């Protein structure tokens, strides 16, 4: 037996630690771009009436979830985890998104009906 044999566990750990400066700057750039888009929507598109506040809220949610995905995937190393954990977290995340959308819809419905009474 050779002393230089590598297990798959060792290779996985090397890959896990492989968040280079280039990748960090790339993810930072993506997060910055999404934030800039959110600011443009908030400060230009909605005040000028190009986009409605209602539609803007949904766009904000999508963009914020996209940022959350990048943060979780890269900085919390979820990208390197096992498929089962990824699926469990993804399914949970989808339910959370569903409930947020449901609450926004119901909240809007309540708001409309409370104003007319």
Nearest to 57 by CA among 71, 69, 45, 73: 45
pLDDT of residue 65: 82
Residue pLDDT, tens place only, 83-114: 777 777 777 888 888 888 788 777 777 666 66
Q: How far apart are the first and last CA of the chain?
A: 83
Handedness of CA 96, 98, 101, 107 (dihedral sign): negative
Residue pLDDT, tens place only, 40-83: 988 988 888 888 888 888 888 888 888 887 877 776 666 666 77
Q: Are 51 and 41 in contact (CB under 8 A)?
A: yes
Question: What 3-state class would DSSP assign to 51?
Answer: coil
Looking at the whole model, is its pTM more than 0.75? no
When pLDDT is cut at 50, 70 and 90, the band that residue 33 belongs to is very high
Element (H, E) at 47: none
């Amino acid at each position: 037996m050779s002393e230089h044999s590598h297990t798959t566990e060792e290779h996985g750990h090397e890959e896990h630690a492989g968040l280079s400066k280039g990748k960090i700057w790339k993810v930072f750039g993506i997060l910055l771009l999404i934030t800039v888009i959110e600011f443009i929507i908030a400060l230009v598109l909605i005040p000028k009436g190009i986009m409605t506040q209602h539609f803007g809220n949904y766009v904000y949610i999508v963009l914020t979830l996209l940022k959350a995905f990048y943060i979780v995937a890269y900085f919390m190393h979820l990208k390197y985890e096992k498929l089962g954990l990824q699926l469990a977290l993804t399914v949970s995340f989808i339910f959370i998104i569903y409930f947020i959308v449901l609450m926004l819809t119901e909240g809007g419905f309540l708001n409309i009906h409370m104003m007319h009474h």
